[in-house]
Structure 1
């Protein structure tokens, strides 16, 4: 089925329709919720696909930028899943409660579906019907798979650009979208000169602040469209709470108690606005985010959380020379339980490709010309002993075709992962693809003044670029192809998309090979 449906699909589904009591199966005596306006303003989304099911998401919010505009009681929401866009063949349906305590969000966990199959879905509340979404289940975990195509994105600062990348993603033929964090930014309005539109409200501190910020981002038509067409697999990063926070340690010099409350608010709002399973529902101040996605026998995705369990950044953060602190083997970016889970998952994997989907630079990145290294302490360079341990594990356990996917850095990078990053002749263990931002950083506003220094000081670096956009990956049993799909500008809508560079990894031959460049 062709998935280039951003116009025709949305024209048919964007408006919803008015139900009568008879068409909704409700008797006239039942109480019908009344809304001040159309309640599905934030659209619909699906996520966490399995071979037999998926999560369907929406949030009732007639006034999304004014507290939601919902009555103070819970609301019953009906959902339907069909094989066809017209819903003539409904295969699953059910009822969920949109609870006031979770901002009237809905996370319907649908099962009993067929593997590797497209479905359409929608919601009903009162006499209102949502837009129609489309989703797709995964192949059976043991099924032989010929091809997987997905895109990964990160870092979508609302103020610094328009979400044209999402409009272009909606025109792609994809099996899912992988979001690697920074779905929102916490800053107050007008924090720099790159602004092309403004945040509503001050810096996010409370649960209401975070809900409004998520709602403002989701109100964007291009983001909303991309969320409705493909299943999404999401994780988070720092700006979903606060810039460069580490575990329970805030970036700024402030008492820990207010930050713990702020983090809990941010976590809950993240759950409320993402198509996540109930197993990720926040408990106390914590939230379960690391998990596994298996795409037939082709690829295993281990979705990591490098924020919630990490030690504080070494050397007061920033780009700094390595020190005893940054190389201390007791320091962790994963936490003990997540690292054990990661190792267990890699050992048990029978997939051709094994993917670590995570947030920050995994490979060593030296920014300084000369003998003294200057490394980013917020990435794995600030936890280098644990990074080296993971690389050694991949090598000694003969993990099949390791691939690391990275967000966070607002630019595009490709690395060979080396067994010893200080020795260019050491064994190549895998590949890392770091993707740019959707908008963060604005129009090619790169802070790297001399990329030639990067190539000279990092022989394992194979590509660098400072445009906005997304990364598309096409995976087969023989090859992993990564296309950097980039935009010339985000300061105004409508930029065309272009593949600027493409790279191939071959099954059984670690490392990357450039196969296309148009720069």
Structure 2
């Protein structure tokens, strides 16, 4: 990473600025750069101009005018071979964000990109196109980064591993005001004032998170596939329903969606009026296909007053949906038509059945797939015959490895897929590994083979024959500098009907 920073600084001298008046009084690239949604011939590159990221109106201290932004894509870190260049418009009505969609590049190779405006240069980002064939893939899975709960050292450690791709599965930010959710972690840092409710609030909160240098490193290290969960808008929202009964929730949701689009490396067609399309497919050549789901926007309201509580009959109604009819057809058709060796389903909430009560009786999280059990059974039955399905999940704030079965209460029910759940980047603070608690939880849920409550992320190394999984953890985030280590390494061989995980 130090070598890359040096080369980026050297490369900046080659981006000769045009003779234009410098009217921006400072560095407008305080939020860094990012790339995302790679394809066989391109990707999206992103930046957002902000002279003062924490300016109270959410506009980042920028003037109320559009700004021309030059961009370059090169084959090397020194930008000695520039392959594409152009000029985009950072529109003030879109918070001076820039989304440039590239195509026509070579498949399966690394590229570098940067921006310039009014004589100022951005940091340099590294990205890549997807391959045409079956080249191996190293990707990271991350989720849940409550700013107040700790430092983003896990993002820095993830960046240092330079994966080919990063999959971020929600709770990129949290909407609470200062100390709005600190019971488990205390407060290490402080949110911007107030709970997010308006477009200005969400823009400001995104800017605060994006100002973190460790997060900027992770964005600049690799292309990201992003999808939201609940806290990008409001805790446990469901379709058109506010979990708190917030007034004018449709306007608040539209504001959160607009701010999310403005601050993420998403394609320009993602925001369609009141709908933000994040369910999509990205193929890594013939090796793997990512099927990204939206488990918030089209779901029915949670059953039985939501939360972790005793299981109730309402959650067992076959009429209830988590994905919605259109997304269900999209997923079903995409899985049936997939011709890649692996099918990786990226989604936000725990899919495996999880009993939180030790001993007789059962308590489940009704915000997760346990609250929509018949649709989960239908999905898992549909995975029979799909080539090497693996479910990748966020939200739970702890690492899990689990075997997915259509009927978790039947020992003879077949295992149809594996679920890998990433712990949080920061949410719930330092975390811990209580061996007695883990033993009790695993005994209560025999289909779950691994749990760890420490902060961290997952790194997966994927080939045609196996997936090697590193559960990475940090011992603390309440102060900076923690190393990351592989707390558990598992191997998932291809073409095993039982999807047995080997330690």
Check whether TM > 0.5: yes
Q: Determine if the alignment matches structure 1 residue 344 to structure 2 residue 339.
A: no
Q: Kindly report which structure 2 residues correspond to 1:91-490, keeping only aligned pairs within 5 A, or say none.
A: 91-140=83-132, 143-145=133-135, 147-191=136-180, 192=182, 194-255=186-247, 258-281=248-271, 283-395=272-384, 398-444=385-431, 450-490=437-477
Using the TM superposition, give the Cα deviation of residue 18 of structure 1 relative to its aligned residue in structure 2, in angstroms. Answer: 7.9
* Structure 1, 377-386 or 365-374: larger mean CA deviation: 365-374
Identify the residue that residue 496 of structure 2 maps to in structure 1.
509
Give 3-state SS (helix, strand or coil) of 1:201's partner.
coil
TM-score, L = length of structure 2: 0.95
The one of 73, 80, 85 aligned to 1:88:
80
The Cα shift of 1:118 comes to: 0.7
Is the CA contact 1:158–1:198 (under 8 Å) kept in the aligned structure 2? Answer: yes
2: distance between equivalents of 1:511 and 1:187? 42
Uncovered stretches (5+) of structure 2, i.e. residues with no partner? none
Runs of 4+ in 1 over 4 A off after TM superposition: 14-20, 445-449, 511-516
Cα deviation, residue 111, structure 1: 1.2
How far residue 375 of structure 1 moved from its aligned partner, in angstroms, is 1.1
Aligned length: 497
**CA distance change for structure 1 residues 250 and 33 in 2, over 3 Å: closer, same or farther?**
farther
The 3 A distance-change label for structure 1 pair 448 and 327 is farther
Offset at residue 465 of structure 1 (A): 0.8
- CA shift at 1:14, angstroms? 6.3
1:497 and 2:484 equivalent? yes
3-state SS of the aligned residue for 1:71? coil
Q: Is the 8 A contact 1:58 1:105 kept in 2?
A: yes
Q: 1:111 to 1:465 in 2, by over 3 A?
A: same
Structure 1 pair 49–386 and aligned structure 2 pair: CA distance change class (3 A): same
Any idea what SS the aligned residue of 2:276 has? coil
**Displacement of 1:190 after TM fit?**
2.2
SS in 1 for 2:316: coil
Determine if contact 2:414/2:498 at 8 Å carries over to the other structure: no
CA change 1:240–1:262 in 2 (3 A) is same
Q: Pick closer, same or farther for the CA change 1:382–1:388 going to 2, 3 Å.
A: same
Question: What residue in structure 2 maps to residue 3 of structure 1?
Answer: none
Which 5+ residue runs of structure 1 have no aligned equivalent? 1-5
TM-score by length of 1: 0.92
Distance (Å, rounded) in 2 between the aligned partners of 1:88 and 1:95:
19
Decide whether the 8 Å contact of 1:407 with 1:434 is kept in 2.
yes
> In the alignment, is the contact (CA less than 8 A) between 1:436 and 1:466 conserved in 2?
yes
